[in-house]
Structure 1
Amino acid sequence: MKTVRILSVALAAAAVLFCGLSGPAQAQEQVGFQASDPFTANEVTLTAELNKPLGNGPFPAVVVMHGCGGWQPAVLYSLDLLSEYLSEHGYVVLDVDSFGPRNLSGDEMCASNAQLRQALVYRAHDAFDAMRYLRAQPFVQPQDIFLMGQSNGGSVALEAADASDLKSLNGPGAFRGVVAYYPWCGVYSQRPVDLASPLLIFNGGADNWVSASQCTRIKSTGADIAEITYPDAVHSFDINIPKQLYQGHWVGYDPQAAQDSEARMLAFFNAQLTPDIRQD
């Protein structure tokens, strides 16, 4: 399949099509499920926050994977807002904490490329464990489960979208669509990748932590890939923090990039839904 660099008008139209389905979301609930790759112990129960629209469903769902800092307060606050936004537009959202249950420090993880590379493997298992959890819920449409990740979580999302990794990870099925915010695109090693899921990547043009240009060179032999770069945005542009240096890298909120990417992500998800997903 050809690589797509600009989202089509159809995606924007899809957002309008489903906007009438939005409504108030239920209160957030904390849930847990077993990690198939515990990594730091014999057994680990992952923690996740679940947001669900009002009603019985079945609803499409999104698995959310945090960045290298884990559930740091500012990150969790921004992910909570994202979860509310998606739930108001008809999606169940499962925000997974990969580091806290394993007693891993976000600051230490962000400082170690070696540990972040290790995290790609067990966190990819986490993503599919989250899919299994959601598929078992009666209010979730099992064919319409998506994945979104930030930074290291975005790199995990790239792994989960790869058809070869899907086989090696024993995934229960491909995600309906995958969105990666400012990931390390070196996970694909500059090789053509057979994508099992459509992939949308958001980058900051002023990001000095990961390379946006590395992502633009990805070629897919499977599902479509789209990449959008916001020229003035830095790493973590969707996290509501002032622009600052963190471990030698610029991070910080860019309202235009954050709001535009959020709307485009919703449109991307809506465009991938199976027919007749919505029921009266």
Structure 2
Amino acid sequence: MTIRWFIPLVAGAVLASCPAGAQGVLGIATQAKDLILPSSPSVAATVNGSRMALLKPDGPGPFPAIVLHHQCAGLRTLDGKPNRSMGEWARAAIQHGYVVLLIDSLDQRGVASVCEGSKNGVNFPRGVRDAMQAADYLRTLPYIDKKRIAHVGFSWGAMVALIGGSKELREVLPGSQGFEAAVALYPGCFTIRPSNGAPPFEIVRNSIDHPLLVLMGDKDVETPADECVRKLQAAKEAGAPVEWYVFRDATHCWDCDHLNGTSRTRRGINIVYRFNPGITEEAKRRVFEFLERTWAAGRTAVRQ
């Protein structure tokens, strides 16, 4: 599948030429101002997924940490309601002993949605830079284990996680150590083909260089799993540390109870969202087991 609507033409052209277009990528990633991140932890019970938040378990740490990155409508739905799925994921991470930085790439920039394309400088490179700056910020906090920080993204945020998993883009966004692991839930794995004739750009690249888990649904018509599986397999065969799982009978945004039963048409495709609590719980189990395996492998490598 090809796609033309998620990213400005110039971004597609510059990304395709990394690292030669380093200054261009940095320019695209800085069209929008940097986020002002939460300065102190919030009480987990008060977080409903409607605003950025920093959350931590009780105790001094050091704790592993997760940067949670939302779907294309940010931390509020298009009708202004809280994105409850992000609040639930944040609370689940706290229960598993993680510090959580729930970020919002849209709100401070006056953007309601990037579901139909980039707005006000909010594009994929900006999203990657947001996530990396969030990771850098977490490393300044005294209760964080600086070698156990993961990026967990959903739909738009999942595509940001996939792109940010490749070293080419990170190398042209200076000043960040990035992540030790990443998880992408129901991403698109499209080929972006700029209409200005610039070379195509793959969201999934063979240069992914840290452990990556991708979770998808077989009934997802918005970001179909088949294309992801094919490209992830090619990346794995090229040596990328990727793994994936496709849930049966899962639509796009299977964890979004606030969207359950709603429908919309995008790119001529009728999309119906179905919240599936069983798959949502299974997805959480797989995410945290993957992260624990990744941290354990890192500890073993250090000892050796």
| TM surpasses 0.5 | yes
**3-state SS in 2 of match to 1:144:** strand
The 1:38/1:76 distance shift into structure 2, 3 A limit, reads farther
Aligned twin of 1:91: 98
Q: CA deviation at 1:275?
A: 2.4
Distance in 2, Cα, partners of 1:45 & 1:207: 34
Counterpart mapping for 1:212-231 below 5 A = 212-218=225-231, 219-220=234-235, 221-231=238-248
Aligned twin of 2:7: none
The C-alpha deviation readout for 1:118-166, integer Å capped at 9, x for no partner, is: 6211010000010011000000011110000000000000011112122
Structure 1 position 246 matched with structure 2 position 255:
no
Equivalent pair of 1:99/1:105 in contact (CA under 8 Å): yes
**Counterpart amino acid of residue 270 in structure 1:** E
Distance in 2, Cα, partners of 1:203 & 1:40: 30
Structure 2, gaps ≥5 residues long: 1-27, 39-51, 192-200
Aligned twin of 2:10: none
Aligned twin of 1:262: 284
Distance in 1, Cα, partners of 2:162 & 2:102: 17
The C-alpha deviation readout for 1:160-216, integer Å capped at 9, x for no partner, is: 111212212226224111100111112662875111211111111111111211110
Counterpart mapping for 1:1-280 below 5 A = 37-40=29-32, 44-46=35-37, 48-72=52-76, 76-106=83-113, 109-110=114-115, 112-113=116-117, 115=119, 119-170=123-174, 172-186=176-190, 189=202, 193-218=206-231, 219-220=234-235, 221-241=238-258, 242-247=260-265, 248-273=270-295, 274-275=298-299
Distance in 2, Cα, partners of 1:114 & 1:64: 20
Give the % identical residues.
27
The 1:192/1:100 distance shift into structure 2, 3 A limit, reads closer
Equivalent pair of 1:68/1:116 in contact (CA under 8 Å): no
The 1:61/1:190 distance shift into structure 2, 3 A limit, reads closer
**3-state SS in 2 of match to 1:216:** helix
Distance in 2, Cα, partners of 1:137 & 1:186: 36
The C-alpha deviation readout for 1:92-115, integer Å capped at 9, x for no partner, is: 011101100000012xx22x2355
Equivalent pair of 2:150/2:179 in contact (CA under 8 Å): yes
RMSD of the TM alignment (CA)?
2.4
Distance in 2, Cα, partners of 1:100 & 1:67: 13
Distance in 2, Cα, partners of 1:126 & 1:194: 21
Distance in 1, Cα, partners of 2:30 & 2:172: 17
TM-score scaled to structure 2, two decimals? 0.71
Structure 1, gaps ≥5 residues long: 1-35
**3-state SS in 2 of match to 1:105:** coil
Equivalent pair of 1:204/1:212 in contact (CA under 8 Å): yes
Aligned structure 1 segments of 4 or more residues deviating by more than 4 angstroms: 114-118
Q: Which has the higher contact order (CA 8 A, sep 6+)?
A: 1
Distance in 1, Cα, partners of 2:241 & 2:146: 22
TM-score scaled to structure 1, two decimals? 0.77
Larger CA deviation: 64-73 vs 243-252: 243-252
**Counterpart amino acid of residue 31 in structure 2:** F
